[in-house]
Structure 1
């Protein structure tokens, strides 16, 4: 059995176990706090064939993609700079680690004062969640590049841009991709949190309204959509992550 077939089989088994546990929990709790898998899937179908959810879905995806692009470019720039420049890393790495340990929700009021209630605040909040892990993974990946490769680049008198493009990036790509995978998940979480606490549109906003109205059908449906999206993309990224590490 090939690796892809094994992965598909494991994914199918995991989905089956989740559905079984979900159904058992529903039988135990009842309609007061849950809906069954069948009821939730039916309601998801109703949502997707209607017009109510699509503007919110588009708003969330737009904010998330913008935040992810910013997190990737900024994280890579910081990571390559600190990984290649040891003296700069000694100064700024403790700052990055300290910032990473701060609960980001405490920064959200400041972001609201700066950006207001529009999409900018959601993008900024998603970005600050994803940028630090991408930067840290990239920095450590560049540090672990074999010295002989860097010496070869210096002997060839490569510029810093050529050194990054031709030597550092290819050699550090597996670890960098792992950082991108982690950054994807955290950026999505940050974007949704931004919508939940101060927004007038998006899936996070819709979810908070559903919680306030105790609309269990909508809560379960939005949660399922988010889980399916995150799990699907994360599984694809994990597949390529493992593939890159095997080729290393």
Structure 2
């Protein structure tokens, strides 16, 4: 029960601040928490809303698979080869600092409108953080593990699978937490610019129509979804570190 007091207190403060801001600016600019919850409940009962959720979910799953597998694979290669990692890290950080929206015309030119562009936006946001987490975790791992494996003439795939990945698995989960949030953000941005379906498109359409209720309802749904997934990953992270 004590563990719930902190999160419930944060939720209460956010709701009160939201209600106060609603009273200050009015319904035309910001709907109240109660009105938003009612409208979201009504939206959950429509098939069109779940079609958009399914479209976003499909793009998110594909983007996460590519970002996680690619980030871990490249992170392992750059982490074990310390020289390559030292050279690549500043390049990756500078590349990631570029505003992804500036690459929007290039992404559309390569992938076109639709699912591929949304997945590409998601991977662009999520891959590099997972890569950097994995690479730095291997750098902090005791070198004696890899040296002992090489002394025993273990093949490289076995070194990675049986020694490196188990040693850095908690750090990989931590990187996946950050990568998940950023990949979701990338997919939503992709839907805003390069899609005619999905929650990002739903948000953009509501903004064009000035539909504050829909904007707030979709934002609330995305917030609850992201917090739930992040909470599950955080619990897994704590459990792994404890073990």
Normalised TM-score (structure 2): 0.96
Who is 1:132 aligned against?
A: 128
Deviations 1:15-60 (A, max 9, x none): 1211111111112221111111111111011101112211111100
Deviates more, 1:12-21 or 1:160-169: 12-21
Distance change in 2, residues 1:6/1:128 (3 Å): farther
Who is 1:221 aligned against?
A: 217
Distance change in 2, residues 1:126/1:170 (3 Å): same
Deviations 1:60-109 (A, max 9, x none): 01001110110001001110000011232233223212211111111121
Secondary structure of 2:48's counterpart equals: coil
Query: Aligned to 1:176, which of 167, 172, 178?
Result: 172
Who is 1:122 aligned against?
A: 118
Deviates more, 1:137-146 or 1:24-33: 24-33
Who is 2:80 aligned against?
A: 84
Who is 1:11 aligned against?
A: 7
**CA displacement at 1:6 relative to structure 2:** 4.3
Say if 2:150 is the partner of 1:154: yes
Who is 1:189 aligned against?
A: 185
The gaps in structure 2 that reach 5 residues or longer are none
Secondary structure of 2:37's counterpart equals: helix
Normalised TM-score (structure 1): 0.94
Who is 1:52 aligned against?
A: 48
Deviates more, 1:147-156 or 1:104-113: 147-156
Secondary structure of 2:47's counterpart equals: coil
Secondary structure of 1:206's counterpart equals: helix
Deviations 1:160-211 (A, max 9, x none): 1111111111111121111111100000000000011221110000100100
The gaps in structure 1 that reach 5 residues or longer are none
Who is 2:160 aligned against?
A: 164
Separation in 2, partners of 1:116, 1:106: 16
